[in-house]
Amino acid sequence: MDLKTRHWDRIGNGGLTFTELGFGTAPLGNLYRAISDADARATLDAAWDKGVRYYDTAPLYGLGLSETRLNPFLRDKPRDDYVLSTKVGRLIQHCAPEHRSGEGKWFEVPQRREQYDYTYDGVMRSFEHSFSRLGVDRIDILYVHDLCIFSHGSKEMSDMRIEEFFGGRGYDAMVSLRDQGLITAIGGGINEWEVCQTLAERGDFDLFLLAGRYTLLEQTALDSFLPLCEARGIGIVGGGPYNSGILATGARQGAWYNYDVAPQEVLDRVSAIERVCDAHGVRLVDAAFQFPLLHPAHVTVIPGGQGVSEMEGNAAAARAKIPQGLWSDLKSEGLMRQDAPT
């Protein structure tokens, strides 16, 4: 199946062509539950068969497992046929069992621990380690990963890591890799648009992978960040379009929102959005996938997929046609910002 594509070229270096549906590979790192190598490969094969040609990974995902699972899958694919991104900011190191990172988050993964390192040397080492795990000849996009409050626990710690990134010359390393043509684009993979805006104001970034912050549920990024991206030609990769699950599963008890069980006020809001979708004969998950792509800065949306059925569901959402009246009704009922592009 051919998916719609969007070409992005901010600095005149040829740019990149994204399928509107990309593949976020955190679930292939055994996020929240273990899956077999065979099931991971079947999911990747299903994505390719559906036309997906953008794959995002990171050293963090499964403490290296996501990258190593991509290795055999990508090995026989023509390199110019897909776009690949990974991330820097952590080094993944062998350790004793009792020091393994991510207990309760990553299951049946290598005996490794993560060490934050946003310096020049840390970025370069992480880049080389990713090449070794992925086994590819080229990585297209390099994101600095998780400089946000969500990851570091407080604004003070987030600010400290941002200073480490710029003052320790991790940013300079990324710019150098782009200037040398070793990567096509640099950006940030971040959970908070405010941190993305800080980076955009301090550096020359091409793309931001913004996770869960411009969705059917959340549009505060329209305040200042997304207009800044439009003005500068910065592309947005829409991560977490289902807000950790609730916009795919609907407002059922125990639904996940922002990596945790959804609070009642979120359940109530999703229930209201679902009623409008039902009135238009539209699946909630389809509207959730399509919504970010209505914003002109967005180049792709990358929901995670931990199995073939989830991958097929994402592909169906990418093909969905949404009537204009749905967006109008969501706005008229106060369930979507009036300035959200539709």
Angle between helices 170-179 and 155-167 in degrees, nearest 10: 50
Name the one residue in this structure whose structure tokens are 């069980």: 261
Cβ proximity of 6 and 20 under 8 Å = yes
Interatomic CA distance for residues 118 and 89, integer angstroms? 5
Pair of tokens at residue 213 = 């912050």
Contacts by 126-133 with C-beta closer than 8 Å and gap 24+?
A: 126/59, 126/87, 126/88, 126/89, 126/90, 126/91, 127/88, 127/173, 127/177, 129/59, 129/91, 129/92, 130/57, 130/59, 130/67, 130/86, 133/59, 133/64, 133/67, 133/68, 133/71
Interatomic CA distance for residues 89 and 289, integer angstroms? 28
Pair of tokens at residue 52 = 């997906």
Cβ proximity of 260 and 243 under 8 Å = no
Sign of CA pseudo-dihedral 333, 253, 317, 70: positive
Q: Which residues are catalytic?
A: 56, 61, 87
Interatomic CA distance for residues 325 and 277, integer angstroms? 10
58 alpha carbon, distance to own chain's centre: 10
310: helix, strand or coil: helix
Q: Which of 299, 323, 108 is nearest to 214 (CA)?
A: 299
What is the chain's Cα-based Rg? 19
